[in-house]
Amino acid sequence: FSPRHPSPHMIKKKCDMVLFAGDLFHENKPSRRTLHKTMTIIRKYCMGSNPVQIQIVSNQEQNFKRSLHGRVNYEDEFYSVDLPIFAIHGNHDDPTRDGGTEMLAALDLLSISNFVNYFGRQDEVDKVEVSPILLRKGSTNVALYGMGSMRDERLNRMWQGKKVRFLRPENVNSPLDGTNDEDEANNGQENTWFNIFALHQNRDTGRGAKNCVHESMIPEWMDLVVWGHEHECRIVPDESLVGTFRITQPGSSVATSLVQGEAVRKHIGLLDIRGCQFRLKPIPLSMVRAFATGEVSLGRGNAMNAEDELDPDDPKVEENMMEYLSAHVSRLIDDAREQGKNLREDALVEANKALQRKRHRRNHNEDDEEMGEMGLGKPMFTIQKPDQVLVRLKVEHTGFSTLNNQRFGARFVSEVVSTFLFMLRCVTLLLLSGRSSYHFSMFLSCIQHY
């Protein structure tokens, strides 16, 4: 669990709320230590006396069925919440049965404790009905739709069978009336709601036509889709294939699987909304463990120098392979350490900027509410053993034998986080392991455990 990456930014930017697009936890039964750390972070950054500026005008009992009193947490008179969190569940922390008939998710524990506003859960197995949370601040109105993780094949089948239904309000002054605007027109009225859809499913990236959610399935009247589940960070909104809405993919805030997409720099997003216009500002994360990937082929003609080519018939081929691959891994480790050094330097620069701003406010007797990721001239958070990095080397080894994982990994015990070697057909994968001018601001993040 790693919410501490975006948490201080939320305070510094004076956000109205936080939106998690699934996988707040890496497993549906997190440890007591993980839950304790989670609650500590939420109490530190999300509890306080500052008033919440957003108002919920929809039926809260329908929106927050999993909460104790059927309402948003900051309206509970026994709690003092100044930064509400809205979250859907992902495929890692999805509801499961635990010694009974009721299915519970880890988010249910946080919801019943008033730490998180858990929404978007679908309990029906043969149909899906998505009801929005209607948020209002000043003249800006936001309809927040959420759909927690479901089996992609089952969801795809229901979508094809027109059993997925989105409810939509008629206009700003009326409550949610349950009209299905996919089937019925909106009586010619101008849409005055900014529609956000948070989901946690596979995207159409070659996993099969029935094992994902296609962009064409999403209602055209959506304005912004926050797509969870995918680990690669593509925080800048892209235009959808439909052309009527945009998609932002926050990705995971830390490397949770050693794939190429995880090597992209991690970001979180600050979303500002005014009326039906929005802007999303990417905020890079500095305190993440460096990760580098590479590929190499052991076949003839692939080496840069002729003397470096490996002969599969050589009696010492295994020893030569060890030396050859060790050299590649060492280069990747150096690249990852250089990347980590640059990240830490960026964090130090931001820390110094935060210190200068703090001194400026003190000199002008201004209130000091800034609690950025940076503290008094140094980063607020640090990584333990930063020189131990993450490295993934993909090896094409056709015609060559495989190496012993423990023997090879022993060479890098003090340099990497972990090592793993396994076979995948003819490929061996070596895994070493001031207020905004806009009216409404929201923090977007897809958080995963590392």
Q: Are 203 and 230 contacting, i.e. CB atoms less than 8 angstroms apart?
A: yes
The amino acid sitting at 4 is R
* 20, 241, 247, 276 from 244: Cα distances, Å: 23, 8, 10, 13
**Pairing between strand 390-396 and 427-432?**
antiparallel
Q: How far apart are CA 108 and CA 85, in angstroms?
A: 13
Which two three-digit tokens encode residue 247?
A: 């998609």
Q: How far apart are CA 367 and CA 430, in angstroms?
A: 52
Give the phi and the psi of residue 337 in degrees, each rounded to 5.
-65, -40
Neighbours of 198 (CB within 10 A): 25
Q: Which helix (H) or strand (E) holds 332?
A: helix 317-363
Rg (CA), the chain: 24
Q: Are 70 and 61 contacting, i.e. CB atoms less than 8 angstroms apart?
A: yes
Q: Which residues are catalytic?
A: 92
Q: Which pairs from 56-63 meet CB under 8 Å and 24+ separation?
A: 56/133, 56/134, 56/135, 56/136, 57/134, 57/135, 57/136, 57/175, 58/131, 58/132, 58/133, 58/134, 58/169, 58/175, 58/176, 59/131, 59/175, 59/176, 62/131, 62/176, 63/119, 63/131, 63/133
